[in-house]
């Protein structure tokens, strides 16, 4: 069985020397930071709802996919917790209030029904979505650099690398278990790239959160091409053992 790669780092350790007084700013700046960070937080948080939905619909069929989702869910929890810490530090957020806001949101998976047909379509959707998230975070460097500590730039590097690993781990499940269905991947990706959402259309599904100016048609096309490229490469022994999972 292939094993998912999981990177070892902790936002708690990364931010433990920082306090909110180091990042005080005008109310309008705090509001701008909040508006930017809140969707990042809730889309990360929504991973637990997607995982729950997959389990309710009984979609996980192989032990590779089960191992993928266990490692992935722990990372996405780490990302949500990190964003809560960042919002406390730079956007006047309170942990209790943020958890309450997160818990109050609703979730509707009907927009992604066609990708919740079977484990294969779920894995293609996740592989693509994680690649998009990786590219979107990578485009955010100036925002994090502008917050006033290199710890936030380091944070961005860590989350971006995690998202790249998620995409590659998902690709590896497809390469290991669904090599006979590689020919179907392009069509599934076409549907995903055409369904670009507006923030108000996002149903709390974790995936298809392609709102904001970073998600250009060109970026989505690049991610589509990267997935098709990665998916057709043969699995190496190291990837089978979970020793390497970086996309090219
Ligand atoms: Fe994430
Ligand atoms: Fe991810």
CATH number of the domain encompassing residue 183: 1.10.620.20
Whether 246 is covered by a domain: the verdict is no
Domain assignment of residue 1, yes or no: no
* Distance from Cα 241 to the centre of ligand 1, integer Å: 23
Tell me, what's the pLDDT at 244?
53
| Ligand showing the shortest atom-to-Cα distance for residue 207 | 2
Count how many domains the chain has: 1
Asked if residue 6 belongs to a domain, the reply is no
Nearest to 169 by CA among 81, 107, 76, 83: 76
**Packing angle, helices 185-194 and 119-138, rounded to 10:** 50
Considering every ligand atom shown, identify the ligand nearest to the alpha carbon of residue 72 and give its number. 2
Q: How far is the CA of 176 from the centre of ligand 1 (A)?
A: 23
pTM: 0.94
- Cα(215) to centroid of ligand 1, in Å? 16
For residue 150, give every residue at least 6 positions away whose Cβ sits within 8 Å of its Cβ, in sequence order, or none. Answer: none
**Residue 233, in any domain of the structure:** yes
- Looking at all shown ligands, the one closest to residue 76's CA atom is 1
CB 211 within 8 A of CB 198: yes
Ligand 1 geometric centre to CA of 229 (Å): 22
Distance (Å, whole) CA 95 – CA 227:
36
Inside any domain, residue 12: no
**How many Å lie between the centroid of ligand 1 and the Cα of residue 159?**
6
Residue 119 structural domain: 24-240
Report the percent of the chain where pLDDT is more than 70.
96
pLDDT tens-digit profile of 219-231? 999 999 999 999 9
- Asked if the structure places residue 49 within a domain, the reply is yes
C-alpha 162 – ligand 2 centre gap (Å): 6
Instruction: Give how far the C-alpha of residue 106 lies from the chain's centroid of Cα atoms, to the nearest Å.
Output: 19
Whether residue 247 lies inside any domain: the answer is: no
Query: Quick one: which ligand is closest to 167's CA?
Result: 2
Which ligand has the minimum distance to the alpha carbon of residue 163?
Answer: 2
Specify the pLDDT at position 206: 85
Residue 66, Cβ density class (10 Å: 0-12 exposed, 13-18 middle, ≥19 buried): middle
CA–CA separation, 130 and 22 (whole Å): 32
Who contacts 69 (Cβ-Cβ below 8 Å, separation ≥6)?
Answer: 51, 54, 60
Instruction: Let me know if residue 153 belongs to a domain.
Output: yes
In the predicted model, residues of the chain with pLDDT beneath 70 are 195-197, 241-248
Q: Ligand 2 center to residue 26 CA distance, Å?
A: 32
Q: Which two tokens stand for residue 146?
A: 């502008």
Instruction: Give percent helix, percent strand, percent coil of the chain, each to the nearest 5.
Output: 70, 0, 30
């Amino acid at each position: 069985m292939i094993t998912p790669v999981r990177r070892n780092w902790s936002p708690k350790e990364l931010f433990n020397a920082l306090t909110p007084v180091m990042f005080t700013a005008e109310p309008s700046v705090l509001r701008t930071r909040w508006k930017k960070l809140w969707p990042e937080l809730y889309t990360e948080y929504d991973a637990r709802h997607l995982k729950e939905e997959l389990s309710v619909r009984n979609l996980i069929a192989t032990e590779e996919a089960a191992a993928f989702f266990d490692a992935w869910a722990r990372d996405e929890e780490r990302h949500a917790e990190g964003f809560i810490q960042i919002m406390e530090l730079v956007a006047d957020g309170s942990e209790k209030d943020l958890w309450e806001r997160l818990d109050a949101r609703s979730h509707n998976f009907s927009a992604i029904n066609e990708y919740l047909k079977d484990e294969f379509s779920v894995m293609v959707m996740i592989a693509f979505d994680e690649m998009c998230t990786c590219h979107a975070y990578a485009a955010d460097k100036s925002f994090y650099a502008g917050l006033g500590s290199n710890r936030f730039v380091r944070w961005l590097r860590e989350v971006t690398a995690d998202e790249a690993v998620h995409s590659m781990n998902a690709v590896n499940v497809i390469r290991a278990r669904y090599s006979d269905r590689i020919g179907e991947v392009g069509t599934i990706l076409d549907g995903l790239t055409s369904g670009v959402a507006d923030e108000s259309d996002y149903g709390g599904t974790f995936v298809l959160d392609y709102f904001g100016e970073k998600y250009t048609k060109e970026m989505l096309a690049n991610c589509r091409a990267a997935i098709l490229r990665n998916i057709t490469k043969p699995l190496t022994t190291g990837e089978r053992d979970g020793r390497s999972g970086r996309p090219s």
